[in-house]
Homo-oligomer: A and B are copies of this chain.
Amino acid sequence: MTHGPDSAPGDGSGGSEGAVQMAHGGGGRMMQDLIHGVIRPAFPNQQLEHNHDGAFFTPQGAELAFTSDGHVVQPLFFPGGDIGSLAINGAINDLAMCGAEPGQISVSLIIEEGFSIADLRRIAASMGSAAAAMGACIVTGDTKVVERGKGDGIFVSTSAVGPVRSASRPVPAAVRPGDSILLSGDIGRHGVAIMAARAGLTFGSPLLSDCAPLWPTVRALIERGIELHCLRDLTRGGLAAGLIEVAETVLLAVEVENAAIPVSEPVRSACELFGLDAIHVANEGRFIAFVPSDQEAEALALMRRFGDARWIGRVGEEQSGAVVLQSPYGTRRRLRLPNGEQMPRIC
């Protein structure tokens, strides 16, 4: 790796390998060194050896899903993951929510001048591991460098293409009155782990992000023949946003039992401390599935192999698009999207 005068080892910004410089983004020799020496070795595959503007693949299935996500999380490294695993699992999870298998992934990096090459190497390694764990392949990408103060360390945009394996498209419009709503596990871990990391807080129990790939759970449901009317991962805006976006798109009422929603004790305490409501807190490894009520028990049993899955509610007949939370005491309140946000830069 080429070291410039402003990236000497030990200057605090670059670690022993130095720091990214503007020239690393310029299309010259240094960019080649960065790509071939630091980034690509983390996910070697035949496609990248083409040295071309894109990747080629032959679709294995009649229909494909295509997804895209930008990642701007801070801090870049957090308990339970980092921006690399987050970006790859984000792409895999968007595919999974389309009923699609992890396939080809692209990675577009926007790096701030001065970013540590050692950290870039860690992030690339994390992307490589997350992709390999799901049999996904990082087949193409791009690297840009912006001046110090015009970025924030590193931003990672991922896109993914994968073959749809579910019998039908699991989209909001396919939700039907009477559908059961299943939640794959306890909520709020990712958002609270990020907030705790930012605040420099540690809790009695370790508070790790739930950042994880959802495809194994979705695959199990598909293989068992569960009719997946709709799948939605619960990222920005949390469980609340997932429910509301689906209800508003299909224009049906959704009723959720508040007491059925699992929230771990550390997340509950942290939410109290931060003044957050866990139902609005981001997750990176949780989803809801809308399934026919006669398959509810079978689907739930399968989902429980992968986590603390629960039945949380059902879809009503009323064409309101409203999500109503029922308390154990019989009170009901309409769940609404907050106007703005609780937590910036959460993913």
Residues of A that sit less than 8 Å from B by CB: 2, 21-32, 50-59, 62-72, 93-95, 97-98, 100, 104, 106-110, 139-147, 149-152, 155, 157, 159-161, 164, 169, 171-173, 232-233, 235-238, 241, 245, 249, 282, 336-345
Contact check, A340 vs B21: say whether CB atoms are below 8 A apart: yes
Q: What is the CA–CA distance of A62 and B100 in the complex, to the nearest angstrom?
A: 19
Q: What is the CA–CA distance of A121 and B106 in the complex, to the nearest angstrom?
A: 27
Residues on B with beta carbons closer than 8 Å to the beta carbon of A237: 26-28, 31
Q: Which of B22, B32, B336, B343 contacts A26 (CB 8 A)?
A: B343
Known interface pairs A53-B94, A152-B150, A159-B68; A236-B26 also in contact (CB < 8 Å): yes
Contact check, B164 vs A56: say whether CB atoms are below 8 A apart: yes
Residues on B with beta carbons closer than 8 Å to the beta carbon of A336: 29
Q: Known contacts A29-B336, A58-B64; can you find 5 more A-B pairs with CB under 8 A?
A: A28-B241, A28-B339, A67-B140, A106-B159, A110-B157
Contact check, A50 vs B171: say whether CB atoms are below 8 A apart: yes
Known interface pairs A67-B106, A68-B107, A144-B72; A171-B339 also in contact (CB < 8 Å): no
Which of A71, A171, A235 counts the most chain B CB atoms within 10 A?
A: A171
- Name the CB-closest residue of B to A24: B340
Contact check, B342 vs A26: say whether CB atoms are below 8 A apart: yes
Q: Which of B26, B68, B233 contacts A108 (CB 8 A)?
A: B68
Residues on B with beta carbons closer than 8 Å to the beta carbon of A343: 26
Q: What is the CA–CA distance of A296 and B65 in the complex, to the nearest angstrom?
A: 39
Residues on B with beta carbons closer than 8 Å to the beta carbon of A236: 25-27, 31
Q: Which of B58, B66, B339 contacts A161 (CB 8 A)?
A: B66
CB distance from A37 to the nearest CB of B (A): 14
Contact check, A52 vs B172: say whether CB atoms are below 8 A apart: yes
Residues on B with beta carbons closer than 8 Å to the beta carbon of A50: 169, 171-173, 249
Q: What is the CA–CA distance of A203 and B343 in the complex, to the nearest angstrom?
A: 48
Q: What is the CA–CA distance of A334 and B164 in the complex, to the nearest angstrom?
A: 49
CB distance from A310 to the nearest CB of B (A): 22
Contact check, A341 vs B27: say whether CB atoms are below 8 A apart: yes
Contact check, A23 vs B151: say whether CB atoms are below 8 A apart: no
Residues on B with beta carbons closer than 8 Å to the beta carbon of A169: 50, 56
Q: Which of B54, B144, B241 contacts A67 (CB 8 A)?
A: B54
- Name the CB-closest residue of B to A66: B55
Contact check, B68 vs A141: say whether CB atoms are below 8 A apart: yes
Q: What is the CA–CA distance of A24 and B31 in the complex, to the nearest angstrom?
A: 34
Contact check, A58 vs B62: say whether CB atoms are below 8 A apart: yes
Known interface pairs A50-B172, A53-B232; A23-B341 also in contact (CB < 8 Å): yes
Interface pairs (6), CB distance under 8 Å? A28-B337, A29-B339, A29-B340, A66-B140, A68-B142, A146-B152
Q: What is the CA–CA distance of A149 and B147 in the complex, to the nearest angstrom?
A: 11
Known interface pairs A22-B341, A30-B339, A106-B66; A98-B157 also in contact (CB < 8 Å): no
CB distance from A103 to the nearest CB of B (A): 9
